[in-house]
Structure 1
Amino acid sequence: MKLLFLACLEPKTGNHTTAERIRSHIESAGHTCELHHAEEFQSSSDLANLLSQNIQFDGALAIHLFKAGRLLLDIQVPFGIVFGGTDVNEDVKVEKRRAVMENVLLKARFAVAFTEKMKQEAMLYLHSQSSKTYVQPQGIETDISEDFDWTEFLQSAEWHSENPQNVLVIIGPKIDPVLTDAVEAVVRRTAGVFLAQERRQPELHAAMKRCFALVNSSISEGMSAAILEAMDLGLPVLARNIPGNTAIVQNEVTGLVYSSPQEFVHQSQRLLSDHQLRARVIRNGKVYVVKHHSVKQERETYQRLVNMLH
C-alpha cells in the first residue's frame, strides 16, 4: 500500500522526529510512505488536484488535525489522523478551526491521541467518536553522539555571582520570528542564559546527557518528546504545570513540576541540594519511559491502524 503522510516538518523539531519515526514503523510493515511538509500545500483542493495528476495513493495519514488534516478533506482515499498538542490546546478556541477539525475527525477512519486526557478533550470539544480514537503514547529511543563538543556553550555563557557554574542553555530552531525576537531580547540582558542552534538528535541527546536537568517551560504541550528523552537518558525533569506535561510528569515521582518563576527556583534548589530526590526522580522517570513509551508497542499500533485504510 502506498500512503501519503503529511506533517509539520521544520528541520530538527519534535514534529519532524515523530513523523520520521511513524513513517519508519509503517514502512517496516512493507508499505510505501511518502512524507510531505504540510506547508507545501495551500488548501485541500490544492492537494487533491496535485494527487489527481500523479500516481494514485491508497491512503493517507496526517499529524495535527488543523495544520495538516484539513488538507485531506478533498482527497478520494481513506485517511487516518494523529492529534497534535495545538489541536486540543489552542485551535479548538477558534470556531472556524474547530469546525474544520470536527470535519476531519468525521471523515477519518481512525484518530490517534498521545494520552487518555487528550482523547477525552477531543471527545468533549470536537465531538470525536470514542470508538474511532486510539491512545498511543509516543515511543522513545535515545541516541547519543560520541563526538559532540559541549565546551562552546560553557565558554560563551556567564552566570550571576552566586554560582557561576549554573548555566541555562536553550536549544532549538527559530520557527516563530516574533517569539524568537522576544527570547533573544531577554537573553541579551540576562547573564548565564545561552541560545544555541538546533542540533541533530544524537548531538542534542549528548548535550542533554551532560546537563544537570532538563527544563520544559512550555505553556502548551501535547506530549513533550524532550521530557521523555530526558527521562530515558537519566536526566531529571523540571516541567511547567500544564496538562500536557503533568500527563507524563508526576511531581516528586518522575520529575518536578512548577507553576511560577518562584516555584521554579525553589524546585531547582531542591534538585541541587536533595540528592535522594534527584536519584528518585531519575530512577522513576526511566522506569516510566520503559513501561509506557515502548517503540515496539508504538510500531505495532500504527501498523495495525494503517491496515484499516485498505
Structure 2
Amino acid sequence: DHLEAAGHVCILKNALDFESPSEISNFIKAESLEAAMALHLYRGGRLLPGHGIPFGIIFGGTDLNEDVKQGEKNKVMGKVLEEARFAVAFTESMKETAQRQWPHAKDKIYVQSQGIATVPNTTFHWDTFLQRSEINQSADNLHVFLLICGLRQVKDPLYLVDAFSEWHQEEPSVYMVIVGPEVDPVFTREVKAKVKRTPGVRLIREMAREDLHAVVKNCFAVVNSSVSEGMSAAILEAMDLEVPVLARNIPGNAAVVKHEVTGLLFSDPQEFVLLAKRLGGDPALEKQIVANGREYVRMYHSWQVERNTYGHLVRMLEGSSED
C-alpha cells in the first residue's frame, strides 16, 4: 500500500513459488520488473542476486535469530547483503545483530519499526467465533486468551498448553484459542493431536484480517509464546486495539513490551498463568497496560512514518548503484 500510494506498480509473490534462479529470471523479464524488495534475508533475499535489478531486503526475524546459526545460510545471506542496496531492521537490536554478523553491510542497514494502521470495521460476531472454537459457554463469563501464529516450531504454540489446561480445569471459564495458518504440515499434525486431547485449549484456522481484529477486540488478552521474533504484528495490533498483551520474554518481544507498562512478560508457563490470573484480578493494572500500549503504538509505530521511510528507500532503487 505504501509503495502503490507513491505511484509504483507492485506485484506480490511468495518466495516458495520459485524453484530455481531461472524461474526468477523469467518472471523478471516477463513482467519487465525494474526493482525488487524481499521480506526475510534468506527465504526471499537469496533469490534476488545476479539478476541485474536493484533490490532491498527487510529482515523477518527468523533470518537473524535462527538461520544465522547455520553456516551455509549465513554465508548466503552475507552475499545477498553485498548486492542489496538497503536492508531494514525493525529494532536497533536487530540492526546490531546484523552488523555483527556482516560488518560489510553496516552502512546500508536502516531501522524502521512496523507501522500499524487503523483496521476497517467488520460485521463478524464474537458468538460466531466461539461457535467455531467449540466453546459452549456464555460469553459474559469467559476469559479467552488468543494466541495468533502460524503453526511452525519457532512460534512454539504448544508451549503454554499443559499449564493452561491445568488452569482451565480449576477455572472452566478460561480458554486459550490458537488461530493461524498451517505453515508446517508435519508440525501442524502434532499441534492438532495435542490440542484435541487438551481441555481448555482450542485450535482454529486462519481468519480474514478484519475478522481476526474483531475477535482480538473481544478477547481477554493476546498471547505470544514464540521462541524468537523479529517484531510481532499481533502484539502491536492488540496494543492498538486496546487489548492486554502477555508475551514470552525473548529479545524480539521485550523490544516492544515493557513489563507491567505496555504488557506482561513471562519466562515460563507457570509464570504465564500467575500473570494471567493477576491481570484478571487487577482491573487497574489492565487499564494501565492498555492505555500505555495504545500510546506506545501511536508514538513509535506510525504507518505514516513507515510510508515515508519506504518511499525514501525505494528511491534508492531508482538511481545507479553508486547513488
Q: Same fold (TM over 0.5)?
A: yes
Query: Match for residue 140 of structure 2?
Result: none
Query: Match for residue 95 of structure 2?
Result: 119
Aligned in 2, Cα 1:168/1:215: closer, same or farther, shift over 3 Å? same
Aligned in 2, Cα 1:285/1:136: closer, same or farther, shift over 3 Å? same
Select the residue among 6, 10, 27 that pairs with 2:4: 27
Aligned in 2, Cα 1:128/1:137: closer, same or farther, shift over 3 Å? farther
Query: Match for residue 298 of structure 2?
Result: 290
Give the letter for the 2:74 counterpart.
Answer: R
> Contact 1:44/1:71 (CA < 8 Å) preserved in 2?
yes
> Contact 2:115/2:301 (CA < 8 Å) preserved in 1?
yes
Select the residue among 135, 145, 152 that pairs with 1:157: 135
Select the residue among 5, 10, 16 that pairs with 1:39: 16
What is the distance in 1 between the residues matched to 2:5 and 2:120? Answer: 23
Secondary structure at 1:111 match in 2: strand
Aligned in 2, Cα 1:153/1:25: closer, same or farther, shift over 3 Å? closer
How many aligned residue pairs are there? 286
What is the distance in 1 between the residues matched to 2:216 and 2:49? Answer: 40
1:204-223 equivalences under 5 Å are 204-223=212-231
User: Once superposed, what is the RMSD of the aligned Cα atoms?
Assistant: 1.5
Structure 2 unaligned segments of length 5 or more: list them.
137-164, 319-323
Select the residue among 174, 178, 183 that pairs with 1:170: 178
> Contact 2:129/2:215 (CA < 8 Å) preserved in 1?
no
- Matched-pair identity in %: 52
What is the distance in 1 between the residues matched to 2:245 and 2:182? Answer: 23
**Scaled by the length of structure 2, what TM-score is found?**
0.85
State the shift of 1:307 in Å: 0.3
State the shift of 1:191 in Å: 1.1
State the shift of 1:183 in Å: 1.4
1:224-235 equivalences under 5 Å are 224-235=232-243
State the shift of 1:77 in Å: 1.2
Query: Match for residue 158 of structure 2?
Result: none
* CA displacement 1:20-72 (0-9 Å, x = unmatched): xxxx11111111112211111113343124424x2432211111111011110
What is the distance in 1 between the residues matched to 2:282 and 2:104? Answer: 45
* CA displacement 1:49-100 (0-9 Å, x = unmatched): 4424x24322111111110111101210111111111110111011111111
Secondary structure at 2:226 match in 1: coil
Give the letter for the 1:42 counterpart.
Answer: E
Structure 1 unaligned segments of length 5 or more: list them.
1-23
> Contact 2:119/2:210 (CA < 8 Å) preserved in 1?
yes
What is the distance in 1 between the residues matched to 2:122 and 2:7? Answer: 32
> Contact 1:85/1:220 (CA < 8 Å) preserved in 2?
yes
1:94-105 equivalences under 5 Å are 94-105=70-81
